[in-house]
Amino acid sequence: MSKFWSEAARRCKPYVPGEQINRTDIIKLNTNENPYPPSPKVIQEIQRETDRKLNLYPSPTADKLREDIASFYQLSKENIFVGNGSDEILAFSFVAFFDTDKKIRYPAISYSFYPVYADLFGIPAEEVPLHEDFTLPVKDFFQAEGGVIFPNPNAPTSVYLGLDSVKEILESNPDQIVIVDEAYIDFAEASATSLINTYENLLVIQTMSKSRSLAGLRVGFAMGQPELIEGLVRIKDSFNSYTLDRLAIAGAEAAIRDVDYFKDTTNKIIMTREWTVSEMKKRGYSVLPSQTNFIFATHPDQRADRLYANLKENGILVRHFKSKPIENYIRITIGTDEQMQKLLRTLDSLTASS
């Protein structure tokens, strides 16, 4: 605390990201990064871009990247907004679409950046408790006063909500925006992007950090009808014209175009996930039905905080949240087959020694 801090700096409660440890002997399964490198074409394009033009500002509108994303989803460039990670787009969305005198709604167990942004921008919020099985209570999101935001699949639970339910939420909020944070959608059944042309109140936010192995490059995108995209552009241009640098734009273009590589790595992770879940269940863990690149697991006779600490001591980093009612769960990112085998061996050795 300093006397020079503004009221906002004093008041805010910053988000705490998962630990970033750069030791190569640690198996890092705590922040849902992709265990595979990005497409080789991404590296090539970034390399090519470094060889020229770094003296010049990047395109403030990133038109080519937006066209590439649009064609992946059969949308048009006017439906696409790009940003420095989806976290930045979430922040812009709170300013562009939520008001300080109307309560927004998000799930009580959800991405912990939402309350941070709500606080920072002075937006009142109602946290909606999940059902006991961690599914979303769809009707509790009907007729929100000031808009709705939720991840689908949800984080950190990994649970997916079907598009019929997403439609119900959209239809019961005709005058409010509904923001669907699809950070993990590529590991799930179906994206709400197919609903964009039907619902003017739908904004879908995705990221290249998980399924496209680019957490280090910081690229996210939002999709919606052009009026919504314009709202985001107004906020962005009141903040920073060049949120994406040249290397990020070049790498992201290559990533979205290399569909084969994306499908290969995504399918591999889904297969590893299904195998890991069945192995965990054999060992007595309950695992929520995951449609993400992580699993959320609990064991009837092992405390999650101890499990987290014991795994860490054995060189495996997972995520544990201390808050109720998820204090007895651990969240495990799906790594390579070898990494998951090591995880299971370690879990076995821990049970044997306890």
**Contact call for residues 353 and 49 (beta carbons, < 8 A):** no
Closer residue to ligand PLP, CB minimum distance, 165 or 346: 165
Closer residue to ligand PLP, CB minimum distance, 254 or 347: 254
In whole angstroms, the minimum distance from the beta carbon of 62 to ligand PLP comes to 15
Closer residue to ligand PLP, CB minimum distance, 256 or 347: 256
Closer residue to ligand PLP, CB minimum distance, 310 or 335: 335
Residue 54 and residue 258: Cα distance in Å, rounded?
24
| Helix, strand or coil, per DSSP, at residue 149 | strand
Residue 247 and residue 257: Cα distance in Å, rounded?
16
In whole angstroms, the minimum distance from the beta carbon of 244 to ligand PLP comes to 12
Closer residue to ligand PLP, CB minimum distance, 46 or 347: 46
| Helix, strand or coil, per DSSP, at residue 14 | coil
**Contact call for residues 181 and 220 (beta carbons, < 8 A):** no
Closer residue to ligand PLP, CB minimum distance, 27 or 116: 116
In whole angstroms, the minimum distance from the beta carbon of 56 to ligand PLP comes to 25
Strand pairing class (104-107; 125-128):
parallel
Residue 260 and residue 346: Cα distance in Å, rounded?
34
In whole angstroms, the minimum distance from the beta carbon of 348 to ligand PLP comes to 29
Residue 196 and residue 245: Cα distance in Å, rounded?
28
What contacts 230, CB < 8 A, 6 or more positions away?
Answer: none
Q: Is the dihedral of CA 98, 104, 107, 108 positive or negative?
A: positive
Binding footprint of ligand PLP on the chain (CB under 6 A) = 32, 85-87, 111, 151, 155, 181, 183, 207, 209, 215, 220
In whole angstroms, the minimum distance from the beta carbon of 310 to ligand PLP comes to 25
In whole angstroms, the minimum distance from the beta carbon of 31 to ligand PLP comes to 8
